[in-house]
Structure 1
Amino acid sequence: MLSRRHLRVKVMQALFAYQRSEGAELAVGEKLLNHSLTKVYDLYIHQLSLLTEVHSFAKRQIEDGKAKRMPTEQELSPNTRFIENRVLVQLENHPQLEKHIAARRINWAEHSELIRRIFTAFKESSGYQDYMNGEVPTYKDERRIIYKLYEDFLVENEHLQSIFEEKSMLWMNDFEQVSDLVVRTISDFKKDIEFGGTLTPMYKDEEEDRAFVKDLFRKTATNNIEYQDMIEAKLVNWDLDRIASTDILLMKMAVSEFINISSIPTKVTMNEYIEISKEYSTPKSKMFINGILDKILAELKEQGKVKKMGKGLIGN
């Protein structure tokens, strides 16, 4: 599922696009934001489908070997350990995944040569050889070889990355987060549950997360000037034009959370935006953002503008 941090990053990216589109309507910006979130889950389904495609290719390769006019002894009696991998079998037959793949019309047929090269490289790896020729694998072993396939031969494949980028420019910003979702899905599968279990949902709580995204985007956009004035008032010996635009936007979003999102502790808000700045801004941003937000938060509390609701949140 998409974490709150990932949701904040998507809102940040949407706000950047909205602010740079002069005259853009708020509803249009919000629609593009929702589209970008949907595309994250699309990438998740595409990557799961890729695992099943490699599995299907492995099965076809064995069938083609047996169907040869003069098959070798190895082709007649192949090692079927990989195609019988319980995790892959569960995934390939998963009704949820089948439904998602059909809805998105995902088809890897035009990339069959790439799938062949990926599987060939995978077969030649020491990890694959150890799995195929070692002791009878446990379910944990079967999961482990899927991690190996996914992380070393799919995620790191530059040709696949190019294909995904061609399908959607939005996906390149989400690759790492989606990779984590795929690994988590495989980790959560159980051998004694039909089809392994359920796929990871897009949201932890769809209603709450959608409301969070909507409120954060709208409130930050509509109060842009007010929040900028708050930030500028706390700058000492700093020219606003010299500050990274990412830092300014992250602080505006944090202020918006302080004031408008009553269910999130201010400490959580502070920590989240500081962590986001580490990845998306300058090395010194975390200290700068922390210092400015501390001052703004203290003032907002004095003015009674920070009102947190819920158990353990009052005063936070």
Structure 2
Amino acid sequence: MLSRRLLRIKIVKALYSHFKSESDSLIVSEKNLLFSIDKTYELYHQLLWLVVDVANYAENRIELGRRKKLPTPEELNPNTRFVDNRVIAAIRDSEELTDYLQRKKLGWVQYPELIKKLYILLIDSDFYRQYMNGSTGSFKGDAALVEKFYTRIVCECEALEEVIEEQSIFWTDDVDFATIMVLRTLSDMREGRQELPLLPQYKSDDDREYVRELFRHALVHFREYAEYIGRYTSNWEVERIAFMDNVIMVAAMSELIAFPSIPVKVTLDEFIEIAKYYSTPGSSTFINGVLDKVVEALTAEKRIQKTGRGLLDK
């Protein structure tokens, strides 16, 4: 499922886009937000299938070797441990996954050079050679090979990043998140289990509502909250404060006020972390200082009312 951090990032980006485009439609901006979240879930399925196409490429090479007029002994009796990998077979045989890919028109058939490159990178790796030369095979060993393919090959492949950007502008920053979902799926797989344990898009209905509510709350109260935050940035020149900083702080303030079940520390940590990657180099320190003052003021005004799990950091 998509993590809360990713959902927060999507909301911040959607708010930034809404105001920078000078849109006057909350409905349209919300649809764009939900669409971008859907696209990340598509990328999860797309990446999960990637190892299957690499294995299919390997199998085709084996067949070509066997069909040669003068095949070598190795070509006649190839090592098929990789193409027979049980984890890959379970992914390939998943009707739920293949149906989803067909419905969304996803796949890698238009990128044979990428599949070839990933295959070459894989067979040149030490972990692949150790796997292929192992004395015995196990489901656990099959799973470890696939996991290393994603962590050591996929995550480091610049050619893959270029292809993903070409496929969808919504996927540019989502590869790491989607890969984590793939790895979580692999860790949930068990030998003999019939169905591939695909992750749901949202952890629960609460997460789905969280997206809509936080986005709407921040959008409706943006000016009010920006002015409130402005009380604690008076020593800074307005033009030196990145607009993204204001968006992040308004989103954080919205979560502090509108979600009593989320601890204050969680909100602060999450949005400060987002600032490290999506705003200027000094933004996280600046935002940290401002939000500390905002929390103190809102608490004194009793506008932050935490209940349940939200009380954990008190």
Are residue 308 (structure 1) and residue 281 (structure 2) matched? no
CA distance in structure 1 between the partners assigned to 2:20 and 2:85 by the alignment: 50
Provide the residue aligned with 1:250 in structure 2: 248
Letter in 2 for 1:202: Q
Provide the residue aligned with 2:104 in structure 1: 104
Query: CA offsets per residue over residues 219-277 of structure 1, 9 Å max, x none?
Result: 11111110011111122422232112222111111111121122212221112112212
Summarize the Cα distance change of 1:107–1:278 in structure 2 as closer, same or farther, 3 Å threshold: closer
| 1:291 to partner: Cα distance | 2.2
Among 288, 291, 311, the residue aligned to 1:290: 288
| 1:9 to partner: Cα distance | 0.4
Provide the residue aligned with 1:13 in structure 2: 13
TM-score by length of 2: 0.92
CA distance in structure 2 between the partners assigned to 1:315 and 1:152 by the alignment: 37
Unaligned ranges ≥5, structure 2: none
Summarize the Cα distance change of 1:268–1:124 in structure 2 as closer, same or farther, 3 Å threshold: closer
Number of equivalent positions: 314
Query: CA offsets per residue over residues 269-301 of structure 1, 9 Å max, x none?
Result: 112112212222334333322222222222222
CA distance in structure 1 between the partners assigned to 2:117 and 2:259 by the alignment: 49
**Does the 8 Å contact 1:308/1:315 carry over to 2?**
no
Letter in 2 for 1:83: V
CA distance in structure 2 between the partners assigned to 1:174 and 1:117 by the alignment: 21
CA distance in structure 2 between the partners assigned to 1:46 and 1:214 by the alignment: 26
Query: CA offsets per residue over residues 196-227 of structure 1, 9 Å max, x none?
Result: x411222111x211111111111111111100
**Does the 8 Å contact 2:87/2:143 carry over to 1?**
yes
3-state SS of 1:155 partner: helix
CA distance in structure 1 between the partners assigned to 2:283 and 2:106 by the alignment: 41
TM-score by length of 1: 0.92
Q: How does 1:212-227 map to 2 (within 5 A)?
A: 212-227=210-225
Letter in 2 for 1:241: E
Query: CA offsets per residue over residues 129-180 of structure 1, 9 Å max, x none?
Result: 2211122133232222212322333332222222211111111111121122
Q: How does 1:55-66 map to 2 (within 5 A)?
A: 55-66=55-66
Summarize the Cα distance change of 1:233–1:147 in structure 2 as closer, same or farther, 3 Å threshold: same
Q: How does 1:138-149 map to 2 (within 5 A)?
A: 138-149=138-149
| 1:67 to partner: Cα distance | 3.1
Provide the residue aligned with 2:135 in structure 1: 135
- Percent identity of equivalent pairs: 39
3-state SS of 1:134 partner: coil
CA distance in structure 2 between the partners assigned to 1:121 and 1:22 by the alignment: 45
**Does the 8 Å contact 1:250/1:277 carry over to 2?**
yes
Summarize the Cα distance change of 1:314–1:300 in structure 2 as closer, same or farther, 3 Å threshold: farther
**Does the 8 Å contact 2:265/2:313 carry over to 1?**
no
3-state SS of 2:268 partner: helix
Summarize the Cα distance change of 1:74–1:27 in structure 2 as closer, same or farther, 3 Å threshold: same
Summarize the Cα distance change of 1:315–1:274 in structure 2 as closer, same or farther, 3 Å threshold: closer
Provide the residue aligned with 1:230 in structure 2: 228
Are residue 201 (structure 1) and residue 205 (structure 2) matched? no
Summarize the Cα distance change of 1:23–1:209 in structure 2 as closer, same or farther, 3 Å threshold: same
| 1:312 to partner: Cα distance | 6.0
RMSD: 2.0
3-state SS of 2:68 partner: coil
Summarize the Cα distance change of 1:245–1:65 in structure 2 as closer, same or farther, 3 Å threshold: same
Query: CA offsets per residue over residues 77-126 of structure 1, 9 Å max, x none?
Result: 11111111111111111222112111122243332243233323422333
**Does the 8 Å contact 1:250/1:273 carry over to 2?**
yes
3-state SS of 1:305 partner: coil
Letter in 1 for 2:197: T
Unaligned ranges ≥5, structure 1: none
CA distance in structure 2 between the partners assigned to 1:148 and 1:92 by the alignment: 18
